Structure 1
Amino acid sequence: MQLQLNNFHIKLLAAIFMVIDHVGVVFFPNVLAFRVVGRLSFPLFAWLLTQGEQHTRNIERYLIRLLLLGIVSQPLYVVALQGEFLNILFTLMLGVAMLRLCRRYPEQRYWIWAASMMAAELLKFEYGAYGLAIVGLLSQFRSNYYWWGIWLGLHLFLAIASSNFGLFQLPAVVTPLLLLITNQQKGPTVRWFYTFYPTHLLLIWAIARSQ
């Protein structure tokens, strides 16, 4: 039987990889394996975001939910992970806005991508321009040589041009392999998915404080 993953499975994997990453940051900062596994998380969140933007019935409510959760999560992100940026939910919110603008103005999509990447850098969103580039690329995901060439080229370029971040993020290059075995089915509804982000940060912070 061929293994197939639905969107629910991808959500679980994204959440698990994220928790492993953050546990490594707080409790095992010298164990590189935690951070390597954690690099698989963001591209999965980005791909799920493209699915959510495509199928949402209310884009304004989607954006507001991400904004409010981002605001609630920011203090926890700072105290739990010593974060110096605006957390990933702000990055995802900007990604949704970028995708919807590209859908409405397809002839301007490259300018919209560029403006969104610049905004992510200027506003100091987590993952910055890279994060928006990943959202844009995964919204166009196709299993062909052209798409994989751009995906690999981006990560190799970063590894050379910005060795600290680029080499650290390089393991993410394999994440789309998981998308090759997705069946595009929604799977069970999970209402906890976005609230999981601030909740897991709160638990990590509480455990770290108790030690």
Structure 2
Amino acid sequence: MELSGKKGLTTFDLKILGIVFMFIDHIHQMFSLMGAPGWLDWFGRPVATLFFFISVEGFSHTRNKEKYLFRLLMGFWLMNIGSSLVQKVFTLGNMALANNIFTDLFVGVLAMYGIDSLVRFKETKQGKSLLIGLACLLCPIIFSVIPLVGMTSGNMFLLSIARVFPATLFAENSVMVYLIPVMYLLRKNKKWQCLAIGVVALIFLLGNPSAAFTSNTQWMMVFSVIPILLYNGEKGRGMRSFFYIFYPAHIWLLYIIASIIYNH
């Protein structure tokens, strides 16, 4: 593929690949009760890592990092509200509609913002930068602990905190979201970024190698290095709003269709 006079894949191309594979994965998720084959899940394993890489590129080049964070936070809130409304009308067995990649991306981007603040503190010695940096890194962890306390004590108010404040342990990929700041620190060397992805994938694989093609497929995230290595550093086409809309829309649509089929 050759776009913008440069061979390789643009950010736009990576996003298109990501949403196509994500869509296939979510077909498996929503229709598994009706016999959707397990191998459809394989397509989705590289997706989160691919979007992590895209978020590093986006954060590194955006002119307004605060606005970038705010967009992700709005996505997080709207996704939670929309999913709650959908589940009030439709049900799909015992499946909870918990998908919200905006949680992962917000926590990861917030960590990058925190790193920048700590670098700024190192350069300027301003206490404000230190406080902001530490808050960005620690708050998602603190907001993970509070709902867990609510879960064990039965306190619904504490449990609901995770639906208001993005929390690391309530992200789709949990602590793996910190692969985002790791790749941010390695952003000047794409091969080192891919090595970091490979190390995390290997950890998952060694966790249960006998189930590598059944219940332990997260190691397949390693295949995200292929499009990442083909990335040419170009933005490509825009259509930012499309990607923000497509994610919740396709989740809700698939859930609704699956619910109608399953219950009738």
TM-score range, shorter chain: 0.7 to 0.9
Q: TM-score, normalised by structure 2?
A: 0.67
**Alignment equivalent of 2:199, drawn from 144, 153, 177:** 153
The CA distance in 1 between the partners of 2:31 and 2:23, in whole Å, is 12
Query: What code does the residue aligned with 1:93 have?
Result: F
Match of 1:71 among 73, 77, 84: 77
Query: How far is the alpha carbon of 1:56 from its aligned partner?
Result: 1.9
Question: Among residues 217, 237, 247, which one is paired with 1:197 in the alignment?
Answer: 247
What's the counterpart of residue 100 of structure 1? 113
Is this contact kept in 1: 2:10–2:235, CA < 8 A?
A: yes
Q: What are the Cα deviations for residues 158-186 of structure 1, in whole angstroms up to 9, with x where unaligned?
A: 33347789932100012112111111111
Match of 2:148 in 1: none
10, 16, 20: which one aligns with 1:12:
16
The 5 Å alignment of 1:118-197 reads 118=141, 122=145, 123=167, 124-132=170-178, 134-139=179-184, 140-141=186-187, 142-144=189-191, 147-161=193-207, 167-190=216-239, 191-197=241-247
> How far is 1:149 from its partner?
4.3
- Measure the CA separation in 1 of the matches of 2:102 and 2:194: 26
The alignment covers a number of residue pairs equal to 208
- Match in the other structure for 1:208: 258
In structure 1, stretches of 5+ residues that fail to align are: none
Q: Which has the larger radius of gyration?
A: 2
Question: What is the aligned-residue identity percentage?
Answer: 24
Distance between the aligned counterparts of 2:218 and 2:141, measured in 1?
19
Q: Any unmatched runs of 5+ in structure 2?
A: 123-129, 146-166
2:39 to 26, 33, 55: 33
Quote the RMSD (CA, aligned, Å). Answer: 3.3
